[in-house]
Amino acid sequence: MTDAYPIALEAVQRIEALFDVERGINGKPAADRLAICQELSAPLMADLHAWLTTQLARLSRKNDLTKAINYLLRR
């Protein structure tokens, strides 16, 4: 079985990058926030989705991290 800790750590780091974008646009006008999200957040989200999908193939279906990844992908 693959050690889940490095996968979980990387997932948190990738999600943190999304939060960094959100923190940077806080208080800006809606049009600016939308443009920045489309430029910066959308590619990060696409990469996160692809990466999470890849990680599912490395983990046992019974692993708790697999359940968490599936939860994230459904949202």
Q: What is the pLDDT of residues 10-47, one digit of tens each?
A: 999 999 999 999 999 999 999 999 999 999 999 999 99
pLDDT surpasses 90 at 3: no
Q: Output the pLDDT for position 46.
A: 98
Q: CA-to-CA distance for 45 and 17, rounded, in angstroms?
A: 10
pLDDT surpasses 50 at 63: yes
Q: Output the pLDDT for position 2.
A: 55
Q: Are 14 and 51 in contact (CB under 8 A)?
A: yes
Cα–Cα nearest to 37, from 55, 18, 53: 18
Q: Six-digit token pair at 57?
A: 């193939």
Q: Are 1 and 63 in contact (CB under 8 A)?
A: yes
